[in-house]
Amino acid sequence: MIGGLLLVGMLASATTAACPDPDDSRRFDFDESRAAAGFRVRAGGIKVRGDFQRLRGELRVGRDKARACVRTELEAASVTMGTESLSEWVRSAHFFDAERHPQLGFRSSAFAPRVLLRGGRIEGRLTLLGVTRQQSVLAQRALCTEPPDAVCTVRMLAALRRSAFGMRASRGVVGDRVDLMLRFEAPRSELEVIDDPPTQ
């Protein structure tokens, strides 16, 4: 699978290059016990939040650290909200339609790994309700522990229009904008290169 939308201090452009070759890259599977994903949407005049209880994902970093890619899949049937009735509604055909579309996911285009460390924009493709569209994601500046085994907590945020994915139910009550959030951990050593200046 998290905090709300925040300003990103330093933006970096995504590259159009292909993702790293599996035979020439390192793969880091998300630790599901330490990863999280959720969303916020305005309903009845207030913002409500949902959380996905099951997710899978991976970060793949080229051995030259020039390119990286992120992939994640969320299980729609695992989403929960504040009450069971809201949880049932958000899993229903009125929102995520978990029975017909059990997964939603994001696959990034290639980007420089340091974007996850410093913050920046990542491009990719989001699949929701069986519809796949281009989607920009903002990575916040990572929070990292100290060496020698430094680990960084990465947060990625995306704003989308649910109507663009065919989610038009309850439009008079539920807002069109949905904010998606993802958090996972990655080794700091994979996000920086030797000539990077030290970060504060």
- Asked if residue 195 is part of any domain, the answer here is no
State the Cα–Cα distance between residues 30 and 65, nearest whole angstrom: 19
- Asked if residue 158 is part of any domain, the answer here is yes
- Asked if residue 74 is part of any domain, the answer here is yes
Range of the domain at 136: 22-170+178-190
State the Cα–Cα distance between residues 55 and 34, nearest whole angstrom: 11
Could you report the per-residue pLDDT of 117-152, keeping only the tens digit for each?
999 999 999 999 999 999 999 999 999 999 888 999
Half-sphere exposure of 34 (CA within 13 A, CB side): 10
- In total, the chain counts a number of residues equal to 200
**With pLDDT > 70 as the criterion, what percentage of the chain qualifies?**
88
Span 100-115, average pLDDT: 96
- Asked if residue 46 is part of any domain, the answer here is yes
- Asked if residue 92 is part of any domain, the answer here is yes
- Asked if residue 198 is part of any domain, the answer here is no
Cβ neighbourhood burial of 88 (10 Å; 0-12, 13-18, 19+):
exposed
- Asked if residue 9 is part of any domain, the answer here is no
Instruction: Report the domain count for the chain.
Output: 1
State the Cα–Cα distance between residues 14 and 3, nearest whole angstrom: 23
The gap between the terminal CA atoms of the chain, to the nearest Å, is 27
The CATH number of residue 103's host domain is 2.40.128.110
Span 31-37, average pLDDT: 96
- Global confidence as pTM: 0.84
- Asked if residue 6 is part of any domain, the answer here is no
Q: How far is CA 82 from the centre of its chain?
A: 22
